[in-house]
Structure 1
Amino acid sequence: MRLIFALLACSLFISSCQESAKKVQSFSTGQQTDQSINDKTTDSTPNYHHVKVKELLQTSSYTYLFVNENDKDFWIAVRKLDAKVGDDVYYQNALVMKDFKSKELDRVFESILFVQGNTSTPPTSHPTAKMPAKKMPPKVDKKIEGIHVNPVDGGISIADLFKNKEQYAGKKVIVSGKVVKVNNGIMKKNWIHIQDGTSDSDNFDLTFTTQNQANMGDIITIEGTVYLNKDFGAGYSYDLIIEEAIIK
C-alpha cells in the first residue's frame, strides 16, 4: 500500500511539470531497478539516498540537479529548491524517466529521477522518525493589533500580495511592515516575519529570508522574489514566502 501511495504521489508531481517523457519506470527505495545508482543508500539511514550537487539548472517551478552518489553521476529533478553546487540533498522515493524533455530548458535528459520528499537536512538514524522540526523557524499564527504600515511608492500591501499571489509568483516585490519575529542563522539565512495591519482572510503575516539583519519592532521595507508552495522538508512548507530579500 505504501508503494502504491508513493507512486501515485510521484505521478501527480510529474504531471504538474507539464513536460513529457517517452518512458516512465517506477522506483522506490528497496525495489530493484536496472540502474545501479539507485541501489545505494546512506550509511546512517538505509531508507534515504544521500547525494551531492555538482551542477544545477533552475526553471520557474523546478530545479534540475546533476548529483553524485557513491561515485555515480546522474540527474534528479525536485520542486523549486534554493540550492548551490556542493550542497547535500537527501531523498527517499523517486520515479525514473527515460528520454525526458524539459520544454522550459529545451533539453532532453536520457535518464532522470523525479524526486519526492527531498530535504537538505540529514535524516535521523531511525527509519520511521520524523525530521526534527525544531531546526525550522516557527510560524506566526497571531495577528498583532495596532499595526498600520502603508506601502511605499511601488510597493504592495501584504493583503494584496496574498490575494494576488499567482500574479506575483516568481517576481520581485516591495513590501513594508513591522518586524514581529526574527530567527537568525537557520539554514544559513535569517528568517524574518513582518505584518502591516492588512490581511487576506487568515493571511496577515509575511515571512521572508535574507542575509540582512532586523530587530523586533523595526519598521522596514524589503524587496525580494515571491515563491509559492515552497517546501523546506521536515513537514515545513509555505504557501507563499519571499526569498533573497534585501532590507532597503
Structure 2
Amino acid sequence: MKYYLSLALVILLLLVSCKNETKTETANTEGIHKATAQEVLQVNQYTYIRVLEDGIEKWIAAPTTDVKVGETYYYGKPMEMQNFESKELNKTFETIYFIEKISATEDDVKSPLTANPHPLPMVPNQQSATTEAAKPTIDKKDVKVNSSEGTISIAELFKNREAYNNTVVRLRGEVTKYNPAIMNVNWLHMQDGTEYNGEFDLTVTTTATVQIGDVVTIEGKVALNKDFGAGYIYNIIIENASIIK
C-alpha cells in the first residue's frame, strides 16, 4: 500500500512539474502571435493577410511585406478594427487587425521599429510618438470659436496638460475632421483658433454623431500618452466625450 501511495505521489509531482514548465514557455512568448499565411493581398502601402492562428482564421494587415502563402510568420501588438473598408481592394473586413510588423522570425518581431512608414488607415492625423516620419501634416483651419462659460480653450489645455490629466474638461470648437465607427467609437478633431507652441488640433473620441463644420461643446476626460497599440500613441486626447451642440 505504501508503495502505491509513493508511486502516486511521484506521478503527481511529475505532472505538476510538466505543467509549470508549460506555463514558463507560454510566458516567454507572451504578446507574440504565430500564424500561417492562407491568402495574401498586396496594395499600395499595405499587405493584407488571411492567417490561421490556433485553428482560427483572421485577417491582419501590415506595412508592405513579402509574405508567402503556406509559410509561418510572427507578429505583435495587433490593433482591432471593425467594418474596415479597403477602397483599393473594394472589400470590407468585418474584423481586421493592423500590426506594426510581420516577420518569419520571432526575434525580429521583438526588435524595435526604426520607423513606421504608413499611418494607420481611417484614424487620421494622430500624433504618433513612434517617429517624426509617422506624423501626418495637420492643417490649421481659419476658425475662431470663443470659449463659453465653464469651458477652456484648446491652447489652455495644451499649455497645462499635466494639470488637466485624468480630469474632465469642457471645450468648445469646430469639428474639422470626423471618422465614425473605429474601435467602437467616433473620432473627431477640433480647433477653436487658439494654439500653444504650435499645437492647435485636439483629438476626441465619442459615441455621439457630428458633422465636419459643426461648432460643438464637448465634455470628456483628458488622457496623456494614450497607447492604442500598433505604435500609435496620442500625446493628448479627450476620451468618451459627450457632445453639447
| TM-score between the two structures when normalised by the length of structure 2 | 0.53
Structure 2 unpaired stretches of 5+ = 1-20, 37-53, 55-75, 81-96, 110-115, 126-136
Classify the secondary structure of the residue corresponding to 2:177.
strand
Q: For the structure 1 residues 125 and 134, does the alpha-carbon distance in structure 2 shift closer, same or farther, using more than 3 Å as the test? A: closer
The answer to whether the Cα contact below 8 Å between 1:133 and 1:234 also exists between their aligned partners in 2 is no
Q: Distance in 2 between matches of 1:134 and 1:166?
A: 27
Classify the secondary structure of the residue corresponding to 2:166.
coil
The answer for the alignment partner of 2:24 in structure 1 is 35
Structure 1 runs, 4 residues or longer, greater than 4 Å off:
128-132
Q: Distance in 1 between matches of 2:100 and 2:140?
A: 35
Which has a greater percent of helix?
A: 2
The answer for the alignment partner of 1:213 in structure 2 is 209
1:235 Cα deviation from its structure 2 partner: 2.6
Aligned to 2:102, which of 99, 119, 126? 126
The answer for the alignment partner of 2:218 in structure 1 is 222
1:42 Cα deviation from its structure 2 partner: 2.8
Q: Percent identity?
A: 42
The answer for the alignment partner of 2:243 in structure 1 is 247
Q: Distance in 2 between matches of 1:119 and 1:126?
A: 11
Answer yes or no: is 1:144 the counterpart of 2:141. yes
Q: For the structure 1 residues 226 and 124, does the alpha-carbon distance in structure 2 shift closer, same or farther, using more than 3 Å as the test? A: closer
Q: Report the RMSD for the aligned CA atoms in angstroms.
A: 3.0
Q: Distance in 1 between matches of 2:184 and 2:228?
A: 13
Alignment of 1:142-221 (within 5 A): 142-145=139-142, 147-221=143-217
Q: Distance in 2 between matches of 1:131 and 1:184?
A: 24
Structure 1 unpaired stretches of 5+ = 1-31, 46-69, 71-116
Alignment coverage as a number of residue pairs = 147
The answer to whether the Cα contact below 8 Å between 2:79 and 2:230 also exists between their aligned partners in 1 is no
1:120 Cα deviation from its structure 2 partner: 3.6
The answer to whether the Cα contact below 8 Å between 2:173 and 2:217 also exists between their aligned partners in 1 is yes
Q: Distance in 2 between matches of 1:43 and 1:131?
A: 23
1:39 Cα deviation from its structure 2 partner: 4.6
Answer yes or no: is 1:44 the counterpart of 2:40. no
| TM-score between the two structures when normalised by the length of structure 1 | 0.52
